[in-house]
Amino acid sequence: MGLTGLLTSAKLRMPVSESVAVRLRGISSVVERETAQIID
């Protein structure tokens, strides 16, 4: 089992990582919005 397998099993065990993923998704959406404004 490689590092990816370890990370996947850790994600299944820890609900904390879900909130981290949500936070990262929120940050990336903000970056996309700002980038779109710059392009305009």
pLDDT tens digits for the chain (40 residues)?
577 877 777 666 666 667 788 888 888 888 889 898 888 7
> What is the reported pLDDT for 2?
76
Model's pTM, two decimal places? Answer: 0.38
Q: Give the model confidence (pLDDT) of 27-37 as tens digits.
A: 888 888 989 88
> What is the reported pLDDT for 14?
63
Residue 17: half-sphere exposure toward Cβ, Cα within 13 Å? 8
Nearest-angstrom CA–CA distance, 4 and 11: 10
Question: Cβ distance 28 to 22 under 8 Å?
Answer: no
